[in-house]
Amino acid sequence: MIPPKKSAAFVWRMEEVLDLYEEPYDSNRPVVCFDERPCQLIGEVRDPLPVKPGEVRRIDSHYERKGTCHALMAFEPLTGWRAASVRERRRGLEFAGEVRRLVEEVYPEAERLRLVVDNLSTHSPAAFYEAFPPEFARLLSRKVEFVYTPTHGSWLNMVEVELSVLARQCLGKRRIPDAETLEREVEAWAKERNRLGTSVDWRFTTADARTKLRKLYPSIEL
């Protein structure tokens, strides 16, 4: 029996990511997880009432939708470092700009940056050619090794955990009216997380996957 191609592709990608997470820290080949999160901008119709000591903040139930933007985050699990920014869109141009910043400003001495991303169409070296001259795009593509999570397996990207924490701790149910305010809030949150040295306690390994997710593995009959 031939193993189903989709199932085999999933476990191959999954084990590739999990094995990468188990490697020791290598400053020449750092592992960085990257992803984006959409954020809705919401403004007040009426200014909230002044708050007095001991009172709960009261706001009007009506609000104004002011569009959306995207929080972009890069996260290095083994050092507990992350950087977050806000962009109006999440095209290949924005992705390429973030990767360029990582390569040139954050990891200028690294031989190669191993970048864990999902299968979004903009997450590829092609984005470099859309944003930069071919000579530089080629140079950048040689500096970055893409490691893709499997389709429907973006939960394997550790930055998803950080984005979830960002949503709970920083965004919550607050009304943030514009991208400028959101960027200040997001950058302040990332700076404090870096100061505390907080990281993700990732314990799921390839051995765990072969036991707990064994139903995902293709069965082989000789």
Residue 219 has pLDDT above 80, yes or no: no
Please identify, in words, the CATH class of the domain defined by 14-196.
alpha beta
Assign 222 a pLDDT band (cuts: 50, 70, 90).
very low
Instruction: Note the pLDDT tens digit of each residue in 185-215.
Output: 899 999 999 999 899 999 999 999 999 999 8
Residue 161, judged by CB atoms within 10 A of its CB (0-12, 13-18, 19+), counts as middle
- Output 16-22 pairs: Cβ under 8 A, ≥24 positions apart: 16/147, 17/116, 17/147, 17/149, 17/156, 17/157, 18/156, 18/204, 18/205, 18/206, 18/209, 19/206, 20/114, 20/116, 20/147, 21/77, 21/158, 21/202, 21/205, 22/205, 22/206
Q: What's this model's pTM, rounded to 2 decimal places?
A: 0.85
String of DSSP letters for 158-202: THHHHHHHHIIIIITT----SHHHHHHHHHHHHHHHHHHT-----
Domain-wise residue ranges, the chain: 14-196
Alpha-carbon distance 95 to 88, whole Å?
A: 12
Instruction: Note the pLDDT tens digit of each residue in 154-190.
Output: 999 999 999 999 988 877 677 777 888 889 989 999 9
